[in-house]
């Protein structure tokens, strides 16, 4: 049975979707844009946006009882592919700081991200 995951430690959904769905041994987290869950503000630089998006991802998977080491797949959406190297550095540090292996990943440039964010990150985690 699917369980809906919701936490106030990550921003509320800005559309008709949930933060994540837990199938018991697999978690599907919706894409996270870099909104601060407390203030609703978004950093301006892509480095800080990537950090906030990953912090939001971590808050959601933690609320569901998963860890960063449980992440098996990520998808990164960039407004500008020229930010690839900067986001990679933040992404790499995030997994190293959380003592986790790098998961499978896709990274693509898209025409536009909600709220004109520069980055959005979604994950799949498994136990």
Catalytic residue (one of 21, 55, 100, 107):
107
Report how far apart, in Å, the C-alpha atoms of 44 and of each of 31, 72, 83, 85, 99 are: 18, 29, 13, 17, 28
Strand pairing class (104-109; 20-22): unpaired
In this structure, what CATH number is given to the domain that contains residue 67?
3.30.1330.40
107 is catalytic: yes
Domain that residue 15 falls in = 3-126
CA distance readout (Å), 49 to 26, 44, 102: 26, 7, 20
The structure's pTM equals 0.97
Domain count, the chain: 1
Tens of pLDDT, residue by residue over 8-59, are 999 999 999 999 999 999 999 999 999 999 999 999 999 999 999 999 999 9
């Amino acid at each position: 049975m699917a369980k809906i995951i919701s936490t106030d430690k990550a921003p509320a959904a800005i559309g008709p979707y949930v933060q994540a769905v837990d199938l018991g041994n697999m978690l599907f987290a919706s894409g996270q844009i870099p909104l601060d869950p407390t203030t609703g503000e978004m950093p301006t630089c892509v480095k800080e946006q990537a950090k906030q998006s990953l912090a939001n991802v971590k808050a959601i998977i933690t609320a569901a009882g998963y860890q960063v080491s449980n992440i098996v797949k990520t998808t990164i959406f960039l407004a500008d592919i020229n930010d690839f190297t900067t986001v990679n550095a933040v992404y790499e540090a995030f997994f190293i700081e959380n003592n986790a292996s790098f998961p499978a990943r896709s990274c693509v440039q898209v025409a536009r991200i909600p709220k004109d964010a520069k980055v959005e990150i979604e994950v799949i985690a498994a136990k």
